[in-house]
Copies of this chain bind each other. A is one copy, B any other.
């Protein structure tokens, strides 16, 4: 399987975009014509993909929104649609999996064989041996510093003079960066830490959630940029639920376009500074 580093480098160059649209389908927030109807999930998600496919460097379907209502076949259909209409756009399955070896292998099968994802998000708490079954089969974005209010409970605890998330970032890079199959998740809600992590991990791709609905600012990603891109900046709700009328997909496209352009501006500024 092609490494996520190679896939993203091509995708950043082709799309000139750092934006990733997160597919978190919530039937209660669907446009009026589809509202509260889980069976409209594929219709909704494919309309969003069709409206944004030239504006993104990646898609990130979040499996929980499908699994909550038995929508695994909808998730399969959405990913197949992305492959059909946007074959060059990497798909990151947001599943935050993590388990000991033999079980991690099953989760890797779920992500890479069943859903055909290019990368999956995984949780490092169980230890680095539990990341290996994923890296053997595909690529990972490992949780490092997340965007939620309580993320510091564990991630910011000081270990030998550095916060845990930085220790995790360093250790993962030592072990997996050479494979090109490693990325890290670092939230946009902690801008200084994005820069710190970038300095610690070289060119490893960072998946950055938290802009838009979660309050993170696009300026925050400046410190994490590399010349070729370096970041996959996710926006889910702000794009997905931009409109609720028949033109909902146009509304989503407008938000995606504006966000892509804002990110491109930050990228230009950053390159000029560099």
Interface residues of A (CB under 8 A from B): 24, 62, 64-65, 67-70, 72, 96-104, 106-107, 109-110, 113-114, 123-130, 143, 146-155, 157-160, 164, 167-168, 171
Q: Known contacts A64-B110, A96-B97, A110-B64: does B103 contact A127 (CB below 8 Å)? A: no
A129 lies within 8 A of B100 (CB): no
Q: How far is the CB of A64 from chain B (nearest CB, A)?
A: 4
CA distance in complex: A107, B96 (Å) = 11
Among A70, A129, A153, the most chain B Cβ lie within 10 Å of the Cβ of A153
A69 lies within 8 A of B103 (CB): no
The one of B64, B150, B152, B155 in contact with A99, judged by C-beta atoms closer than 8 angstroms, is B64
Q: Known contacts A157-B159, A159-B158: does B100 contact A147 (CB below 8 Å)? A: yes
Q: List 11 A-B contacts (CB under 8 A).
A: A64-B97, A64-B107, A68-B107, A100-B146, A100-B147, A100-B148, A123-B126, A126-B150, A126-B154, A128-B153, A130-B148
CA distance in complex: A147, B102 (Å) = 12
CA distance in complex: A58, B177 (Å) = 41
Q: Nearest 9 pairs between A and B by C-beta?
A: A127-B150, A129-B150, A64-B106, A127-B153, A100-B148, A68-B109, A125-B125, A68-B106, A67-B110
Q: Known contacts A72-B70, A97-B96, A123-B123: does B64 contact A103 (CB below 8 Å)? A: yes
A157 lies within 8 A of B153 (CB): no
- Sample of 8 more A-B contacts, CB < 8 Å, known A67-B107, A100-B146, A124-B125: A64-B103, A67-B106, A69-B109, A124-B153, A127-B152, A154-B164, A157-B167, A164-B164
B167 lies within 8 A of A114 (CB): no
B157 lies within 8 A of A129 (CB): no
Q: How far is the CB of A95 from chain B (nearest CB, A)?
A: 9
Query: Could you say which residues of chain B place their CB within 8 Å of the CB of A168?
Result: 154
Q: Known contacts A97-B96, A98-B96, A99-B96: does B154 contact A127 (CB below 8 Å)? A: yes
Query: Could you say which residues of chain B place their CB within 8 Å of the CB of A155?
Result: 125, 127
Closest to A131 in B: B150
CA distance in complex: A180, B101 (Å) = 31
Q: How far is the CB of A161 from chain B (nearest CB, A)?
A: 12
Query: Could you say which residues of chain B place their CB within 8 Å of the CB of A123?
Result: 96, 98, 123, 125-126
Query: Could you say which residues of chain B place their CB within 8 Å of the CB of A171?
Result: 153
Closest to A149 in B: B129
